[in-house]
Amino acid sequence: MKGEMETMEDVVIVGAGIAGLATAVALKRVGVRALVLERSQRIRATGAALTLFPNAWLALDALGVSHKLTRSYDPLLKGSVTNINTGDVQQVLFPEQGTRTVHRKALLEALAEELPSDSIRFSSKLAAIESQEQGGGASIAVVHLEDGTTIKSKVLIGCDGVHSVVARWLGLAKPIHSGRSAVRSLAFFPQGHRFKQEVQQFVDQDKRAAFVPLNDREFFWFLACKGENMTGEPEQIQREVLEKYADNFPSIYLDVVRHTDLSTITWAPLMFRHPWRIIFGNLNKGNITVAGDAMHPMTPDLGQGGGSSLEDAVVLGRHIGNSVIKNGGLFVQGDMAKAIDDYVKERRWRGASLVTGSYLSGWIQQGGAKWWVRFLRDRLFYKYIFGFLAGLSQYNCGNLPAVSSGKED
Ligand SMILES: Cc1cc2nc3c(=O)[nH]c(=O)nc-3n(C[C@H](O)[C@H](O)[C@H](O)COP(=O)(O)OP(=O)(O)OC[C@H]3O[C@@H](n4cnc5c(N)ncnc54)[C@H](O)[C@@H]3O)c2cc1C
């Protein structure tokens, strides 16, 4: 549907990433239909894989999709951290309730297949937003797509990632570059591999890398380091990792990188929003809000960006669902600003703490040139601080209310 056509939706979600799809699933569970607009032609699984901690699995339980993934991926119970400089190896234990690394594609597909096929509209890039007052304090969000289409919606949720157009419209401060970048990829061993089901991490001055088996033949690996973006062809990125960034890493890591599935390799700057911008910023305005990276972009050092996007989805679904229940099964537009406000109140501090914890975790683990930062990492971090920060993943965002199906107002 292109051109001048105007339609009116209950909820429009911008972005079919983890936050957008999970929010659409949460809303479907409480009887609210959402239209998801995605700029790409299909689901994007950039980043290859991600690790989901207990909080993410609790959120996926609430969304009713965790079983689809737990049957394909084994839990990770422990890992090791090797200091490249000293050769010291430390053990890290993961929470027993379950930590699993999953293909991004599998997670996104598990969410998308819960939705009616016409609820995701691809090749639909949000260009601009307006808010039209309706009187009595209510307003309508007007969404303009790049192809000229205009869609009106009673609620608009920006799940459009780190460079969110919706966050910009709300006046949220731009995310900033942490000064670090990361390369991520899958590696494929056609004959199978003999590695244990463990994360093997390697730390060096200004560098941190790891690999983890996804199944009998595939690995997820990453390397985070100081510096700007690396550009170029996949082969060139792989070569730079092998010859420049990880040339002094153990052969076991280099072997995994040599088995890279080049179609999955990507390199990204690590961005975050200052936590005080999340605490004091406008995370909502009337019936318009943001979720996932659009709200709280964070560095990946606690593996919480995706998990917290799933939490956002459940919390938003709960507040909208409770409003529907209160109104006897009806989606009452006038009550949505309050539901969204309650969602923002519940998520603001959680988002800000995860951004802060992730930043600290990255800063210590990537141990710069200063002796005391290295001391903190090598002597204290994995023994004492990691457990405390990992406690942030022991979070239960709660459930969705049971809603009997209602009609629109
Ligand atoms: C190196 C690295 C490692 C990570 N590891 C982990 C991990 O182990 N565990 C974890 O939980 N998290 C991890 N994360 C974080 C996680 O990837 C993100 O937090 C998560 O993908 C955020 O999901 P999202 O849906 O908010 O945003 P995105 O995944 O960015 O999705 C946004 C979607 O919106 C679409 N979009 C953007 N703009 C528009 C527009 N104008 N119109 C229409 N559509 C638009 C995009 O095409 C995209 O599909 C990692 C991140 C990085 C960079």
pLDDT-based confidence at residue 6 (cuts at 50, 70, 90) = low
Rounded Cα distance, 235 and 223, in Å: 15
The span from the CA of 63 to the CA of 57, in Å, is: 10
| Domain range 180-267, CATH architecture | 2-Layer Sandwich (3.30)
Distance from Cα 109 to the centre of ligand 1, integer Å: 15
Band of the pLDDT at 214, cuts 50, 70, 90? very high
Strands 199-204 vs 78-83: parallel, antiparallel or unpaired:
parallel
Q: In the 8-state DSSP scheme, what is residue 402?
A: P
Nearest CA to ligand 1 atom 51: 300
The pLDDT assigned to 134 comes to 82
Label residue 368 by pLDDT band (50, 70, 90).
low
The correct CATH number of 6-177+271-393 out of 3.40.50.720, 3.30.1540.20, 3.30.1360.120, 3.50.50.60 is 3.50.50.60
What are the residue ranges spanned by the domains of the chain?
Answer: 6-177+271-393, 180-267
Q: Whose CA is nearest to atom 21 of ligand 1?
A: 306
Task: Compute how many other C-beta atoms are within 10 angstroms of the C-beta atom of residue 157.
Answer: 35
Torsion 214-78-57-225 (CA) sign = negative
Per the structure block, which two tokens stand in for 127?
């260009």
Q: What tens digit of pLDDT does each residue of 220-255 get?
A: 999 999 886 677 899 999 999 999 999 999 999 999
From 13, 21, 38, the mutation candidate for ligand 1 (largest count of ligand atoms within 8 A of CB) is 38
Mean pLDDT of the chain: 91
Rounded to the nearest angstrom, the gap between the alpha carbon of residue 108 and the centroid of all alpha carbons in its chain is 11
pLDDT value at 92 more than 80: yes
Q: Which residues line ligand 1 (CB under 6 A)?
A: 14-20, 37-40, 44, 47, 50-52, 125-126, 159-161, 165, 182, 184, 222, 268, 270, 292-294, 300, 303-307, 309
* Distance of alpha carbon 165 from alpha carbon 290, whole angstroms: 10
Residues 6+ apart with CB under 8 A from 6: 150, 151, 152
The pLDDT of 323-349, averaged and rounded, is 95
